[in-house]
Amino acid sequence: MKPGLGRQLQGRRILITGGGTGIGAATARACAAAGMQVMLSGRRLAPLEKVVSEIRTSGGEASMRVGDVVAPGASEQLIDAMGEDFGGIDAVFANAGYGIEKPVLDATPEEIRRIFDVNLVAAIDLMRATGLRLREENRPGHLLGCASILGKFTMPGYGLYSSTKAALTHVCRSMRCELYDDGIAVSSVHPVTTRTEFFEVAQKESGAGHGPVVKDGVPTHAPRIFVQSADVVARAVVKCLRRPRAEVWTSSVGRLSAGIFELVPPVYEAMLRSEMRRKRREAGSGR
């Protein structure tokens, strides 16, 4: 089956990393509701147990594995676990990741390596390992990587985060062409600001004097038109699993804005300079 054709989801098996909270958890529930067998992975046991319990209570099938996606051999171990629990794998959503808001000059080498390892290297490795397994078994499948609207443009303080997502977008595009004739679809997912614990984590990871000012789960500077729930992303992912497409956008306004910014770089960079001045004023006044 070619990647662009409609696919039945009932009984198909999906692995979701970062599945205990936010977009991962919402997508797990939505996939299970669509009849898929779902395995969640994450670093914390309690959130994973909660989502698995919710799915099973609703009559769905779910299992979980606790672990860090950057651990050696993590991808192969998760794929093997899919075989143990469900007899194989049909799709993967490489969703694990985090953000920091910090100027590049203020970031340490360790912070730079860590965010690239988690957001990019681990995601590529998981999609690569899943693609190899699907191709070895001569089966169609679907690889999805969670990018971001910031995979298309960036903002002051988000250079490291957005560069991981831009690179993941390019990898997905390349793999999509490489695997098309194998019947393996590849999609990048581009959420806008999503109301999850993501920004509280970003605030913590960014360290003292950096990070977003968060209220009700989103940065105070985020335009309301760009704010959505995790369920919006989850529905878009399930729709893409049914009928694969190259990019999953959860906001038409976000997609239009990204396109405009790419077409007129001088205007876009003038906006970024203005944003950087705002941040410096806020920092100087103690916010």
Please write the tens of the pLDDT for every residue from 152-173. Answer: 888 888 999 999 999 999 999 9
Cβ atoms of 41 and 67 within 8 Å: the answer is yes
* Both structure tokens of 285: 């006044």
Question: Which pLDDT belongs to residue 199?
Answer: 58
The C-alpha atoms of residue 60 and residue 75 are separated, in whole angstroms, by 24
Question: Which pLDDT belongs to residue 211?
Answer: 54
- Which positions of the chain have pLDDT values less than 50? 287
Query: Which of 124, 251, 232, 118 has the alpha carbon at shortest distance from 186?
Result: 124
* Both structure tokens of 149: 């609207």
Label residues 184-194 b or e (16+ Cβ within 10 Å = b): bbbbbbbbbbb
Cβ atoms of 149 and 191 within 8 Å: the answer is yes
Contacts of 266 (CB under 8 A, 6+ apart): none
Domains annotated for the chain, with CATH where assigned, are 13-251 (3.40.50.720)
3-state helix, strand, coil in the chain (%, to 5): 55, 15, 30
Question: Which pLDDT belongs to residue 272?
Answer: 75
Query: Which of 90, 223, 119, 206 has the alpha carbon at shortest distance from 157?
Result: 206
Burial of 25 per CB tally in 10 Å (0-12, 13-18, 19+): buried
Neighbours of 58 (CB within 10 A): 11
The C-alpha atoms of residue 119 and residue 69 are separated, in whole angstroms, by 10
Question: Which pLDDT belongs to residue 286?
Answer: 52
Question: Which pLDDT belongs to residue 132?
Answer: 97
Tell me the whole-structure pTM to 2 decimals.
Answer: 0.87
Characterise 253 by phi-psi region: left (phi > 0), alpha (psi -120 to 50), beta (else): alpha
- Parallel, antiparallel, or unpaired: how do β-strands 91-94 and 141-146 relate? parallel
For the four alpha carbons of 158, 100, 15 and 234, in that order, the dihedral sign comes to negative
Torsions phi, psi of 220, nearest 5?
A: -65, -25
DSSP tally for the chain: helices H, then strands E: 10, 11
Reply yes or no on whether 161 is catalytic. yes
Cβ atoms of 143 and 127 within 8 Å: the answer is yes
Read off the pLDDT of residues 84-121 as tens digits, 9 standing for 90 and up: 999 999 999 999 999 988 889 999 999 999 999 999 99
The C-alpha atoms of residue 185 and residue 179 are separated, in whole angstroms, by 7
